[in-house]
Homo-oligomer: A and B are copies of this chain.
């Protein structure tokens, strides 16, 4: 198949679009892959649609390969199933809602758990029917507050969403693993650099969950990875390793000290080191007690929660929110301190908290036998050598202190470093939430109902176009991996004389006959313009039909490395076929 630039619906742009901040957005617009139609709404021009379809096809093949079956739902969905699971309400302003001419409520589907569960319920009834995995590659809608970065975060986008239906937890684990393996094959075939991170889940509610993040400095998601292993996780999911417990017996007694003018950890440490206590203190020796209020879903009253973390770390509110979800976190107000006069601001210690029934959870580092400098519940006073398990006993552990680069990796290998990524896939053991909502049961061999358990798995297909572009470009343009590229070869006729044009046509014809997808630049433009467009468009192999043709050679250029080789015309078809087919 030959596509000719002379008639291709493509006009490249020299300037970056004004609204573009990230490289993929700039380059996909400049190279004529996509155009903005509305906030978060893009049209796919011929080149872009080809890349999108190539990615779709890789996803489809790997889903089919493990027995997932493709179906397709409408995007325009009635309200009722989403009311049954409460998502109609939970989504808030994040979904598009509309009414039909009769006033009935509809939404544009953001994900289709409800419809898949209802469909399986409609078709299947016996335990013999299970397990089954269904998927669709479909246009989805979310009314993002801040659509950004072109197709990286749009309001209309293409997703592969799949759902597994099993009768047992072990079955669900197996389906989950099948997806995990398929995702690895998909992202490998797409030539991506990615990490699989443990994740907490959003509005979908459930348990085991991992995200696939394409590593990219422009990504919205922060994660940490080990310097010496494959370990990677969202900061919300990092499990801080607890140090070994220590003996209580050899610890000095706790002593209250008058510590005037020490409102901050830093001033406290300075004071202690100047106090002649015979040892050196750091912020990590202090125990900071942070108070928040928790409101359980549906509750009118909030309750106090105290969190003890080493004084050299802040509480990470994203981690805290994830840890206490679905409860909501809020900060204390002045009136809360007035109401609870035992809270001496700046000098809160475990004593008053526990004496007054405030739930007190501590960082995993605060193990039995560790000794701390902390508040003495009295203005201008701290207590030194307050020992966990001797002088205070927390109500439990909460792992919400900030994660820092240099922290030990939870797997014991290396230390953590921070990185950013783009979420390209998400696998998730939903469990029985949706099956419960719709009473999705299979009739068991004993004629008793078995409640089905589900998994939910997504790949951002249109987002992948941008994610790949983020990972694979240089300052001259895009560089597509072979499996994704809109064409196998970009043949540039570098000159205007007729022999070159004829030579280019002939070569393109032979390459096409060999089963290769060829983009032929047959325009009357200058070689400079054509080369610049070829670099911008990013087909991985560029074939230059130029002055060498008279000597029986053409030039084959690798877009990524810039390497050029001259190849004899009568060998070039076989040379290129081998290059493309690998």
Contact = CB atoms under 8 A, between A and B. Distances in A.
Interface in A66-96: 67, 69-78, 93, 96
Given A9-B123, A67-B7, A100-B143, A76 B115 contact: no
A447 B74 CA distance: 48
Interface stretch (A42-50, A314-322, A548-556): A42-50
Interface in A99-138: 100-101, 106, 108, 115, 119, 122-124, 132, 134
A354 to B, nearest CB: 45
A52 B70 CA distance: 12
A41 B32 CA distance: 34
A96 B98 contact: yes
Given A76-B155, A78-B38, A100 B96 contact: yes
A75 B139 CA distance: 9
A293 interface: no
A46 B74 contact: no
A37 B115 contact: yes
A156 B139 CA distance: 13
Contacts of A275: none
A379 to B, nearest CB: 48
B74 A49 contact: no
Contacts of A11: 123-124
Given A38-B106, A96-B100, A100-B143, A71 B9 contact: yes
Contact of A72 (B49, B93, B134, B145): B49
A97 interface: yes
B74 A41 contact: yes
A334 B134 CA distance: 64
B37 A69 contact: no
Q: Which of A101, A119, A143 has the most chain B CB within a 10 Å cutoff?
A: A101
A141 interface: yes
Contacts of A155: 76, 100
Q: Which of A39, A70, A76, A101 has the most chain B CB within a 10 Å cutoff?
A: A76
A529 interface: no
A8 interface: yes
A439 B185 CA distance: 49
A133 to B, nearest CB: 9
A35 interface: yes
A225 to B, nearest CB: 35
B45 A71 contact: yes
Contacts of A73: 37, 43-44
A8 to B, nearest CB: 7
B97 A93 contact: no
Nearest to A123: B11
A108 B76 contact: yes
Nearest to A8: B69
Nearest to A116: B43
Interface in A24-59: 32, 35, 37-39, 41-46, 49, 52
Contacts of A132: 7, 9
A43 B76 contact: no
Nearest to A154: B74
B115 A9 contact: no
A101 B44 contact: no
Contact of A35 (B96, B122, B145): B122
Contacts of A32: 123
Given A74-B43, A76-B96, A96-B98, A119 B35 contact: yes
B69 A43 contact: no
B74 A38 contact: yes
Interface in A152-211: 155-156
Contacts of A35: 119, 122
B43 A72 contact: yes
A395 B170 CA distance: 85
Nearest to A115: B37
Interface of A: 7-11, 32, 35, 37-39, 41-46, 49, 52, 67, 69-78, 93, 96-98, 100-101, 106, 108, 115, 119, 122-124, 132, 134, 139, 141, 143, 145, 155-156
17 contacts: A7-B132, A9-B71, A9-B123, A9-B134, A37-B78, A38-B74, A42-B74, A44-B73, A45-B123, A74-B156, A75-B75, A76-B108, A76-B155, A76-B156, A98-B108, A100-B143, A101-B145
Given A9-B69, A43-B71, 16 more contacts: A7-B132, A8-B69, A9-B134, A37-B73, A37-B115, A38-B76, A38-B106, A41-B76, A44-B72, A46-B69, A49-B70, A75-B139, A76-B141, A96-B106, A100-B155, A139-B139
